[in-house]
Amino acid sequence: MDILSNLAMGFGIALSPFTLMLAVAGCFLGTIIGALPGLGPSNGVAILIPLTFTMGLDATSALVLMTAVYYGAMYGGRISSILLNIPGDEPALMTTLDGYPMAKEGRAGDALVLSGVASFVGAFLATIGLMLLAPMLARVAFYFGPAEYFALYLLAFCTLGGMASNNQAKAALASCIGLAIAMIGVDNNSGMPRLTYGNMHLMDGVDFLVAIVGLFAIAEVFFFIESHGKGSSIGVKLDKVGIPWKDIMATKWTMLRASGVGFVAGILPGAGASLGSFLAYMSEKSLAGDKGGFGTGVPKGVAAPEAGNNAAAGGALVPMLTLGVPGSGTTAVLLALLMTLNITPGPTLFTDRPEVVWGLIASLLIANIVLLLMNVPMVKIFVKILMVPAWVLLPGVTMISFVGIYSLSGSYFDLLLMVGFGVLGYVLRKLDVPTVPVILGILLGGNMENALRRAMVLSDGDALFLWSSPIAIGLWIFAIAGFVAPMFMRGLLRKPQRITD
């Protein structure tokens, strides 16, 4: 009964009036961030990280707030998917397929409540899975040396690169841009500065938060400017909100299966929530067959991707906590938060800092319940947020970004860099090059290089050392499969086109 006593300890840490208040605030903010088109969980968390420093929060409180925002955004993404047919964030993409048709039939309320419940089931089961599996996975980490880590990072690049875009070449290009940026700074293996051009600001390399906020938030601002801040309006009517018990009961097995699929997808480093919702939707679709009516507004088509993407969000925390390797863009940002708080996720986190781990798990459970209570009855209120005109939203996002980044290091240089990344993000999106692999490159590129070079130091430059263990070989096989498979399954994996009507 270790788990129960640990969990009790976790609740002891996470459950105080102050943290509960943070959880509620975080859930609310997260839901809004998730619901706002374009603002997804990763930029939501990235933007709010500096806030935790400004508020002077300690590690536990900061974690509670950020996980609440994280889960909140995963919940909120569905709102604009269903009402506007615009995914609030990338993982909510699949929800548009059946959610919007349901809304058009006048069942928007049902779709929102059903997807809220599905989100809860997915996130709840994933948190349980995290609780049971993570300590087990933590022990495995002693088997991970430089060669294994290198293979693991390679796997992350291959799978995420493959899923983030329909075009492998563009995903690879984006990864390479990220890798190149990761080269800047003092080289860990020789102590020599690289690509810094004598600029002391670049000695520590490019802070990935600067890159994330620039590529996502600032680029978003540029898009708003380009579209002359066109306001958004809701195209469907939201009459009454009831609880569609019949639909919930009818989709219970769908939710459970989708949660399982999503969780596994989330655990794979780099795969993340988008893959989770995609796989969950696709597997339910093939189970139901042609008669299932997927794509025409069926409850199962709403429940599956929502359970899947929220389960994946929980699953992605497993490798992040036990190996220090993020399973998705958002956990990458959370990893950055932990590292800034001087908590290094990794094999020893569970033994070294049980209060952090179990506090986190407890706060996930709290956030989940808060979200369910908040989302179902308050659907109507959240919908109002979508009517916020861009001219209010835009200056807000810009201000938060600038203040946040400046507060990180107190240097104007980072602000220039952030705007530079904003321009880069704008150009890349114009060219339909995904920005997620760029972030991944910056975040993991340095680690991947270090792992390779450590392996070379230990083996006296013998390349075969990279395939010296079954774990490493297995990871290589997955990595190659993950990179090659999408090329052959292009037709199957094509992202759904937005319905234009």
Partner 1 sequence: MKFRLIKALVAGAVLTAGAGGAATAAECIAPANPGGGWDFTCRQIGKIMHDIGVVDKPVQVTNMAGAGGGLAFNHVVTEQNENEDLIVAASSATTTRLAQNAYAGMTADQVRFVGAIGADPGVIVVGKDSEIDDLDKMVEMIKADPSSVAFAGGSAVGGFDHMKPLMILKEAGFTDIKKIKYIGVDGGADAITQTVGGFTQAMTGDMSEVVGFLKSGDVRVIAVLTDERVPGFDDIPTAKEQGYDVVAVNWRGLYVPKGISDEAFNNWADKLQQVADSEEWKTAMEANGLAPFTKVGGDFQSYVDGLIEDINGMSKELGVIQ
* Residues that bind partner 1 in the complex, under the rule CB under 8 A: 53, 56-59, 141-146, 186-192, 198, 200-201, 203-204, 324, 340-344, 346-348, 351-353, 408-411, 450, 454, 457-458, 460
Q: For residues 259 and 236, give the distance between their C-alpha atoms in angstroms, rounded to a whole number.
A: 29
Judged by beta carbon, residue 186 or residue 264, the one nearer partner 1 is 186
Q: What does residue 91 show for φ and ψ, rounded to 5 degrees?
A: -60, -25
Helix orientation angle between 146-163 and 272-288, rounded to the nearest 10 degrees:
60
Q: Are 33 and 69 in contact (CB under 8 A)?
A: yes
Closer to partner 1 by Cβ: residue 350 or 483: 350
Give the shortest CB-459-to-partner 1 separation in angstroms.
10
Report the 10 Å Cβ neighbour count for 66.
Answer: 29
SS3 assignment, position 262: helix
User: To the nearest whole angstrom, how small is the minimum distance from the Cβ of residue 325 to partner 1?
Assistant: 12
Least CB distance to partner 1 at residue 154 (A): 18
Instruction: List C-alpha distances in Å: 311 to 258, 259, 488.
Output: 8, 5, 27
| In the complex, minimum distance from the CB of residue 448 to partner 1, in angstroms, rounded to a whole number | 13
Place of tokens 């509670």: 64
Which distant-in-sequence residues (6+ apart) come within 8 Å of 101 by Cβ?
Answer: 295, 296, 297
Amino acid identity, position 370: V
Residue closer to partner 1 (CB basis): 293 or 354: 354
> What is the distance between the alpha carbons of residues 54 and 370, in angstroms, rounded to a whole number?
25
Nearer to partner 1, 289 or 410 (CB): 410
Minimum distance of partner 1 from residue 144's CB (angstroms): 7
Token pair of 473 as six digits: 């070989």
Write out the two tokens for 492. Answer: 């199957």
Q: Whole-number minimum distance, CB 218 to partner 1, in Å?
A: 22
Q: Shortest Cβ distance from residue 201 to partner 1 (Å)?
A: 6
Asked if residue 26 lies in contact with residue 72, where contact means CB atoms within 8 angstroms, the answer is yes
The nearer residue to partner 1, 197 or 245, going by C-beta atoms, is: 197
Q: Based on C-alpha coordinates, what's the Rg of the chain?
A: 22
Nearer to partner 1, 187 or 429 (CB): 187
Shortest Cβ distance from residue 57 to partner 1 (Å)?
8
Give whichever of 168 and 340 is closer to partner 1, judged by the CB atom: 340
**Measured between alpha carbons, how far is 501 from 499 in angstroms, rounded to an integer?**
6
Between 124 and 149, name the residue whose CB sits nearer to partner 1. Answer: 149
Query: Residues 109, 242: contact at Cβ < 8 Å?
Result: yes
Which candidate, 289, 334, 363, places its Cα nearest to that of 52?
Answer: 334
